[in-house]
Chain A
Amino acid sequence: MTHHDIVIIGGGPAGLSAAAAARKAGIQDILILERDGVLGGILNQCIHNGFGLHTFKEELTGPEYAARYIAMVDEEKIPYKLNTIVADISKDREVTYINREEGLMTIKAGAIILAMGCRERPRGALNTPGYRPAGIYSAGTAQRLMNIEGYCVGKEVVILGSGDIGLIMARRMTLEGAKVKVVAELMPYSGGLKRNIVQCLDDYGIPLKLSHTIINIEGKERLTGITLAEVDQNRAPIPGTEEHYTCDTLLLSVGLIPENELSKGAGVSMNQVTSGPNVDDRLETEVEGIYACGNVLHVHDLVDFVSQEAALAGENAAAYVKTGRTGKEGRAVPLLAQNGVRYTVPQVLNTDTMEDTVTVRFRVADVYKDRYIAVYYDDKLISRKKKKVLAPGEMEQVVLKKSSFGDYPDISRIKICTEVE
């Protein structure tokens, strides 16, 4: 069986950054497996700008950002296979993939980096009642059809979900001559960046209806209309608030779900909140030698943070291959997300074996104003930082120092939470 030191599943921004970092850390034998016909992942269809401000101090479009990393991979001659889908990963790090040229192949990996990204939540998962006509697309599918294949999916559009993909597509479709009638959002706040509300909705006079959802879909063959209703604090439709919109297209931007079918097959334990693997400060899953980064680990808002996270995964996978180093020898201290913090990545910190600093990323459960982000070691308050605004759509972070654990040799848990004044 062919052996490769590091096998990276996914050639999008996470996979590319992990590969570059692993090569930089001295690993020669790397293989990236990518299911599409090109590297770059979802960035290839994200033709809008807003990428790279942290990484390159420039504002780039998605393809331009991807090109920078693809250039690194090409320069370093890191091998990759395109049009190749991974069918299975075993706990023993055997990777089975399929492509036209080789058929079905199983290879052995010294370390695996999971970088498969995420999929979109469909209408079916919302159980929205009504007919099932053509014209209902998840925003990303419409984006692909428009930006890669060059097709317009419809003329009169309603968008459900104010996450960034929905907002970006509101603008995109408007620019291509469609009429976007309304963007409806279930929650009382938007899930996307504020800048996108301005440049995608306000710029074009597209109304945003918060605390609204779709309660009916009409049209047997092709969509003909939808009914919106306002929802109460339990997100249940309020009778009497129904509004009908005629439309031929419904775009859904109602959530991204990390794509972990393969991870589960490898016996990787999954986190209920993120739908991604549980990882430690090395981004190693509970299965030794299997690492995770990018949207497959937890849904990110900025690709720059994906690249940072993936570089770390690459470095750690490289160290594992070189020295067998994992964090599993150390003291595993769980991180608890509480009181307004929905989850943290990583979920576990090895205080003995961690690097000098660890970036803990997290998201909050609601929009909070003038709150503190607090870190506790057991019951001892370690740090408190005031934040004017915290929102679920914007990922936050705290940096923990290894040196800070010196005084807490018997620490049993780290708590990250929000606090009011």
Chain B
Amino acid sequence: MQVPTPDSAESGIPGLHARWEHFPHEADMGVRGFGTSKSHAFEQAAMAMTAIICDPASVKPDQAVSVHCEAPDDELLLADWLNQLIYEMAVRGMIFSRFEVHIDRTRLDGVAWGEAVDVRRHHPAVEIKGATYTALRVACEHGEWVAQTIVDV
């Protein structure tokens, strides 16, 4: 049976105002995270990416994986963060459902929590090939951070 998968969600954490959504692209998918800080927006963009694959609520955050990346600007850092997660998902056969990001200028230290892919439980729809630089944007608007890009599926 097809599991209805959300295409937007609130983080549910009081005071964080963090949320994510998908936005359309003709062949692929857009991921967009919002938050009160850049780090929260990056975390939510990662959540949006998981939601392309499956319902994040179905993924147990049992195992932690550390991710580190460095890039000359915020936008390339976002693409790097998502690409590192794509890499870790591919080589570990995992899906992630909880994220924590710390950004210090050009450096990102993050942790992703998840579990091994279980086709019967997660009903994964599609694997992600890479995070593109198309519609890539990191900005603070009216006190809210947004982090978005198109991912190739």
Same assembly: no
